[in-house]
Amino acid sequence: MKDALGRKIDYLRISVTDKCNLRCKYCMPEEGITHLNHDEILTIDETLKIVEVFKDLGIKKVRLTGGEPLVRNGILNLVKGIKNMGIEEICMTTNAIKLYDMAYDLKKNGVDRFNISLDTLDAEKFRDITRGGDVNKVLKSIDKLKQMDMKPIKINTVVMRHFNYDEIEDFVKFAEDGVIVRFIELMPIGEAIGKSDDYVSNEEIIKKIGNLHKIDSDSKKSKVAEYYTNPNGAIVGFINPISHKFCSECNRVRLDCKGNLLMCLHSNKSINLKDCIRNGEDIRQIITQQIYNKPERHYLEEGNFNKRDMNTIGG
């Protein structure tokens, strides 16, 4: 399945819920959140119907996100249903607060690997930015994945100058202990709009770390991240949506929990597949047409920001 520019689209990200058990400051407001009603979000069966169409059209990888995917009722049934379709890889991005107790069941039902969102290793700072979270629950979950040999374990770290810039070396050290840390540039989206003074380019981070060597092996290649190693064996990645955007190689589309199909994280344009399904429409043709018209690139540098909160589209 290709778009008009010849990009092969084989990766679907699904936000399964807008709910989260944390309130990270750059993602969600502290108060005033109106969660969606039950009938406003895709059911498990509706989600599986959509994934099945995508699978027939060439999707090979599915990533489940949120909000926080582990607070979604029926998440194990969803994973199992997707796995039974023959999707090659099922991944999950989670804050890992609930992962310790669910890791074995998620693996048994079909999750192949996990990305953990973790912006600080400091317990007090973690409580602050998440508005009450316990970093020790996250670290215990990571240790459990290591014990289960769920590799690679990728840690996603959004770098903010006035919050965790001083922890960059600590995260590199953390990466020496069997995980891959990926530094992500802060994007002007949702609650982060207007916080440009917190933005740090990954070029600056690479210079700050020093003594890194780029990895060129096929096993570490990525359309999104560039990977480096240090003399102690740490593997760190850099995701540069602002300074070095990767739109020309973008292979993904997104489905939010309301059923909106988005061709780009940074676009406000979408079509609602939930309504189409409930109206009995042929979503195969709709999906094919939308993907063909996938935008060439995002326009963040021109100030064209997505006003949606990150918890509704999964990042």
- For residue 111, say whether it is annotated as part of any ligand binding site: no
Contacts of 149 (CB under 8 A, 6+ apart): none
Q: Which amino acid is at 182?
A: R
SS3 content of the chain, % helix, strand, coil (to 5): 35, 20, 45
Of 214, 229, 225, 228, the closest CA to residue 249 belongs to 225
Dist. CA 189–CA 310, nearest whole Å:
7
Where helices occur in 35-134 by DSSP H, the ranges are: 44-57, 75-84, 99-109, 123-130
- For residue 252, say whether it is annotated as part of any ligand binding site: yes
- For residue 24, say whether it is annotated as part of any ligand binding site: yes
- For residue 20, say whether it is annotated as part of any ligand binding site: yes
Of 208, 201, 207, 131, the closest CA to residue 160 belongs to 201
Phi, psi of 183 (to 5 degrees): -85, 130
- For residue 250, say whether it is annotated as part of any ligand binding site: yes
Q: Which helix (H) or strand (E) holds 113?
A: strand 113-117
- For residue 25, say whether it is annotated as part of any ligand binding site: no
- For residue 276, say whether it is annotated as part of any ligand binding site: no
> Between 44-57 and 75-84, two packed helices, what is the crossing angle to 10 degrees?
30
- For residue 117, say whether it is annotated as part of any ligand binding site: yes
- For residue 278, say whether it is annotated as part of any ligand binding site: no
Q: 292-308 burial, b for 16+ CB within 10 Å, e for fewer?
A: eebbeebebeeeebbeb
Q: Which helix (H) or strand (E) holds 214?
A: strand 213-214
- For residue 257, say whether it is annotated as part of any ligand binding site: no
- For residue 98, say whether it is annotated as part of any ligand binding site: no
Residues making up the binding site for GTP: 13, 63, 93, 154, 252-254
Residues making up the binding site for S-adenosyl-L-methionine: 26, 67, 117, 187
Residues making up the binding site: 13, 20, 24, 26-27, 63, 67, 93, 117, 154, 187, 247, 250, 252-254, 264
Residues making up the binding site for [4Fe-4S] cluster: 20, 24, 27, 247, 250, 264
